[in-house]
């Protein structure tokens, strides 16, 4: 807990739906890129020149993403009994309605049990084509999980903790990058000067990080969040602890901003992604546990046939830790 200690407000949570626990505690799970995939032969759904590219993408993804393992993942998430389930986008591969439907069906047991406690944002693969821009499949299928139905959404979790969801997808069918828009910054500022004035900790849910891990994806404009510097500056000036929950890069890690040390990034990776040379996916997700004003991070991972949970060390400024399978 080194990283969070200096910001700890020491104020026990006044709990919301989690009040039944009898202790000042708030628990959330963070799920990364699920990338459900389906093949389609319908040219109306995969139009023009993109047909071949998207078909190839779907073929590659079908080999790498073991969507048949969603049931194991969903069961474990349920066992964690979270107060919130936070999904950071890329539910699909090519934004097909059938892919959204597959995601919705796989997560249905959670929707039933945790009604009103699921929060989501889209990833670039959820708004992958110009057709999707018109069809709004993400909103049609998963809109119920976009709290209050406006962007960004703000969720008062109690005790000074707020959770904000940002849609940074470009919706233009081009590239893998995101865009942080002017109106999102204005909305964040309005929140801080209004209902968020007393916020003591903020969890951002956004598919794209504002900073990439050094030496791994450094300043790759094809994949980064364009305009993200402004978001990072805003978060830094809040002067409260910020946990930034993202995905996009299919690797699980925790990283603390070197320039804005109140910001800690959590990448939940891609739980059903089978990495090269591995027999099967490294199934897992992250848990955030806020207790008496301090947040701890845990990693849930299936090792063999057994689920294990371990504490993640919070990094110092500029430091990061690999949370993927050790030795991978």
Which positions lie near Fe ion, rule CB under 5 A? Answer: 33, 90, 123-124, 248
Q: How far is the CB of 65 from Fe ion (least distance, A)?
A: 10
Q: Which is nearer to Fe ion, 3 or 247 (CB)?
A: 247
Q: How far is the CB of 247 from Fe ion (least distance, A)?
A: 6
Tokens of 146: 């976009």
Q: How far is the CB of 137 from Fe ion (least distance, A)?
A: 16
Q: Which is nearer to Fe ion, 168 or 254 (CB)?
A: 168
Q: How far is the CB of 126 from Fe ion (least distance, A)?
A: 9
Round to whole Å and give the CA distance between 255 and 270: 17
Round to whole Å and give the CA distance between 254 and 241: 14
Q: How far is the CB of 127 from Fe ion (least distance, A)?
A: 10
CA-based radius of gyration for the chain: 19
Peptide bond into 150 cis (omega under 30): no
Spatial CA neighbour of 255 closest among 237, 243, 270, 273 = 243
Q: Which is nearer to Fe ion, 15 or 267 (CB)?
A: 267
Q: Which is nearer to Fe ion, 154 or 208 (CB)?
A: 208
Q: Which is nearer to Fe ion, 95 or 124 (CB)?
A: 124
Q: How far is the CB of 26 from Fe ion (least distance, A)?
A: 27
Q: Which is nearer to Fe ion, 124 or 257 (CB)?
A: 124
Q: What is 78-115 written as a DSSP string?
A: HHT--SEEEE-S--BSS--HHHHHHHHHHTHHHHHHTT
- E strand intervals along the chain: 25-31, 84-87, 118-120, 153-158, 161-166, 178-179, 201-206, 225-226, 242-246, 252-256, 263-268, 284-291, 294-303, 306-312, 320-322
């Amino acid at each position: 807990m080194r990283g969070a200690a200096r910001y700890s407000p020491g104020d026990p949570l006044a709990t919301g739906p989690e009040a039944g626990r009898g202790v000042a505690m708030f628990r959330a799970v963070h799920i990364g890129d699920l990338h459900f995939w389906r093949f389609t032969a319908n040219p109306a759904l995969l139009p023009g020149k993109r047909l071949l590219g998207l078909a190839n993408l779907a073929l590659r993804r079908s080999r790498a993403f073991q969507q048949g393992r969603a049931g194991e993942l969903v069961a474990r998430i349920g066992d964690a009994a979270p107060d919130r389930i936070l999904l950071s986008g890329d539910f699909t591969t090519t934004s097909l309605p059938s892919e959204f439907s597959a995601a919705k069906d796989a997560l249905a047991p959670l929707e039933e049990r945790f009604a009103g406690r699921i929060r989501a944002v889209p990833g670039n693969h959820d708004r992958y084509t110009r057709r999707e821009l018109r069809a709004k499949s993400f909103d049609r299928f998963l809109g119920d999980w976009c709290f209050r139905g406006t962007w960004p959404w703000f969720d008062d979790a109690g005790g000074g903790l707020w959770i904000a969801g940002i849609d940074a997808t470009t919706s233009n069918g081009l590239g893998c990058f995101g865009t942080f828009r002017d109106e999102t910054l204005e909305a964040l500022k309005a929140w801080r000067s209004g209902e968020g004035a007393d916020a003591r900790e903020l969890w951002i849910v956004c598919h794209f990080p504002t900073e990439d891990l050094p030496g791994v994806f450094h300043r790759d404009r094809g994949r980064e969040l364009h305009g993200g510097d402004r978001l990072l500056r805003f978060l830094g000036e809040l002067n409260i602890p910020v946990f930034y929950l993202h995905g996009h890069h299919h690797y699980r890690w925790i990283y603390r901003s070197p320039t804005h040390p109140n910001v800690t990034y959590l990448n939940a990776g891609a739980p059903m992604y089978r990495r090269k040379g591995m027999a099967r996916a490294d199934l897992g997700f992250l848990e955030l546990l806020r207790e008496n004003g301090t947040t701890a991070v845990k990693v849930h991972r299936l090792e063999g046939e057994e689920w294990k949970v371990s504490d993640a060390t919070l990094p110092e400024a500029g430091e990061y830790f690999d949370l993927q399978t050790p030795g991978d």
